[in-house]
Amino acid sequence: MPEIAAAPPTPPIPLAALLAREELGLRQIAGPVEAGAAVRMVHTSEMADPYPYLLGGELLLSAGVLLKDPDMYVSRIVQAGAAALGFGVAPVYDTVPQALIEACDRHGLPLLEVPPKTTFTAVARAVWRLMAEARHRELRRVTQAQQGLAAAAARPDPVPAVLHQLASRLGGQAVLLAPDGTELSSSGRAPSPDAGAALRRLAQVVKPLPGTPGDDAGQAGPVPASASDAIPGAQLAAYALGGHQRLVLGLATPVREAGDHTVAGVAVVLLSLLTAPHQGADSSGRSAALVRLLLGAGASEAAALLGAERWTVVHARGGSGTPFAASALGAALGSALVDPADDGTVRILLPADSEVTPQPGWLLGVSAPVLPEELAAADSQAARAVHRAAATRTELVRHRGTSLSALLAPEEAAAHARLRLAPIADSPALLDTLRNWLSLHGSWDRTAAAMEVHRNTVRQRIARCATLLDEDLDDADVRMELWFALRSL
């Protein structure tokens, strides 16, 4: 039997809600009523055997054009996982065949009588309207929960406040558990006496996914980042938090509603940030570094308070667009030093010995390890790397150094670069366009994609560079010299 999860991700609606629409005149005449069938979609078919065309969870509508063996027909519908059968009275039958009614009762399939005045289109439209209303309610509930959880995270006692907010929103119990199942903090009441013990057992099987902060280097094979189970009277779920402490968020609720997993995901991100030890610097160290910078200290003095001698800059683009995306990325990479810029780029500062791995939904550009006084140059390296990642559709691009830089002293290379590029030095747009264009081997389209401008804009800027520099940019030697100058500038 097909899995219901294979159906499109639309919120299911109770069959009772559709029957309550008086304008449709639908009437259930067979099958279980108390089971509370849920409809996930509508499908109309006059096939003698619609099984191959069903995904599961459908309200199947038919006028019985090819109905010959009701028992076989109903058994195949049930085998496919359909939620209910709607039988149209007219134009083929004046009434619903008694053999079909008996077959639906026998196989436990809800059977609806669709009166002649009601078209199948009207039934489908009513289902989609109910689904839209359900989706709107779900989104509103999730949005309100996100706002409540964010406000709780800003309280003086953020972890208990987030757990209390989560338990209130989901109508159950929220527990923060240690790796051995020890309860560290909780809020709400478990739906049943056995739920707490079952939740602790469930917490034993969830761990961070390989590659996330806290993952053991030698661990083999993927392990679940979340798990769910059910016992009489309770729905259980456990989520691994990011960070080296390997904490687990456990949830025990009487029922599981649409949107619960999304709400829990927001809480997981917040609790991961609130409970994870800071990588390379605690909050007091970051505060002290900020104060010294504001009072005029140099980058080296401030960086010393953050616990690392060399640093790597990461630029990231993408994410889910939620307010927590940048913080979640920082937590995944193991850093609390995160700067979400107005243009959508996220900048993250990491100790040089930190491992940077691809992150789902993000494009990453990584600089070379540098000393604190070289962070500005590393920031430019990371920016160019993420541009290249966007142009080449690569998840992670690292800055690649050049051995040519060792041929000249940095002061001589910089002086040569200033002289070589003087005609366009006052135009950052021309310099940036020329740098990207040369790095992408003169590709107009890839340069336009990397810079998020039109390809004609790239052509116009490169032509302007050629004019001002008085150079033939088709000459490989000229390109090499300009690239060297740009790298040294």
Cα distances from 145 to residues 148, 167, 212, 275, 302, in angstroms, run 5, 11, 26, 20, 38
Residues 68 and 91 sit within 8 Å (Cβ to Cβ): no
In this predicted structure, what is the pLDDT of residue 459?
93
**Domain span(s) for CATH 1.10.10.2840 in the chain:** 406-488
Over the stretch 272-313, which tens digit does the pLDDT of each residue have? 877 765 444 456 677 777 777 777 777 777 777 777 788 899
Task: Give one DSSP letter per residue of 248-275, joined into a string.
Answer: EEEEEESS--TTHHHHHHHHHHHHHHHH
Over the stretch 396-427, which tens digit does the pLDDT of each residue have? 998 876 545 545 556 677 788 888 889 998 89
More confident residue, 276 or 467: 467
Taking alpha carbons only, the member of 315, 171, 331 closest to residue 252 is: 171
Over the stretch 213-251, which tens digit does the pLDDT of each residue have? 444 433 333 345 677 777 887 888 888 887 555 788 888
Across the chain, how many H-helices and E-strands are there? 16, 17
**Mean of the per-residue pLDDT values for the chain?**
82
Fold of 406-488: Arc Repressor Mutant, subunit A (1.10.10)
E strand or H helix at 432:
helix 428-439
The pairing of strands 13-14 and 84-88 is unpaired
Residue 340, SS3? strand
Over the stretch 157-216, which tens digit does the pLDDT of each residue have? 788 889 999 998 888 889 888 877 788 888 888 777 787 788 888 877 776 544 444 444
Residues 382 and 315 sit within 8 Å (Cβ to Cβ): yes
Number of Cβ atoms within 10 Å of the Cβ of 2:
15
Task: Give one DSSP letter per residue of 104-152, joined into a string.
Answer: HHHHT--EEEE-TTS-HHHHHHHHHHHHHHHHHHHHHHHHHHHHHHHHH
**Domain span(s) for CATH 3.30.450.30 in the chain:** 155-215+223-275
Residue 304 makes CB contacts below 8 A (sequence gap 6+) with: 372
In this predicted structure, what is the pLDDT of residue 213?
41
Q: Name the residue type at position 457.
A: T
Mean pLDDT calculated for residue range 244-272 = 82
**Rounded to an integer, what distance in angstroms lies between the CA atom of residue 196 and that of residue 181?**
10
In this predicted structure, what is the pLDDT of residue 458?
92
Over the stretch 61-98, which tens digit does the pLDDT of each residue have? 999 999 999 999 999 999 999 999 999 998 889 899 99
**Per the confidence metrics, is the pTM higher than 0.85?**
no
Residue 129, SS3? helix
Token pair recorded at residue 170: 């989901």
Residues 177 and 248 sit within 8 Å (Cβ to Cβ): yes
Residue 304, SS3? helix
Q: Exposed, middle or buried, 341 (CB in 10 Å: 0-12/13-18/19+)?
A: exposed
Token pair recorded at residue 4: 């219901």
- Which of 24-33, 71-80, 129-138, 221-230 is least confident? 221-230
Residues 56 and 78 sit within 8 Å (Cβ to Cβ): no
Residue 441, SS3? coil
Q: For residue 102, what pLDDT band results from cuts at 50, 70 and 90?
A: very high
Over the stretch 310-365, which tens digit does the pLDDT of each residue have? 889 999 998 766 555 777 788 778 888 888 887 788 999 988 888 888 988 899 99
**Domain span(s) for CATH 3.40.1390.20 in the chain:** 4-130
In this predicted structure, what is the pLDDT of residue 221?
36
In this predicted structure, what is the pLDDT of residue 218?
34
Q: For residue 8, what pLDDT band results from cuts at 50, 70 and 90?
A: very low
In this predicted structure, what is the pLDDT of residue 220?
34
**Rounded to an integer, what distance in angstroms lies between the CA atom of residue 174 and that of residue 185?**
9
In this predicted structure, what is the pLDDT of residue 101?
94
Residues 256 and 235 sit within 8 Å (Cβ to Cβ): yes
**Rounded to an integer, what distance in angstroms lies between the CA atom of residue 459 and that of residue 171?**
59
Beta bridge partners, 87, equal 62, 113
Residues 120 and 88 sit within 8 Å (Cβ to Cβ): yes
**Rounded to an integer, what distance in angstroms lies between the CA atom of residue 152 and that of residue 166?**
10
Q: Which CATH number fits domain 155-215+223-275: 3.60.15.10, 3.20.20.80, 3.30.450.30, 3.40.1180.10?
A: 3.30.450.30
Mean pLDDT calculated for residue range 446-461 = 91
Q: Name the residue type at position 353.
A: D
Per-residue pLDDT at 9 exceeds 60: no
User: What CATH number belongs to 4-130?
Assistant: 3.40.1390.20
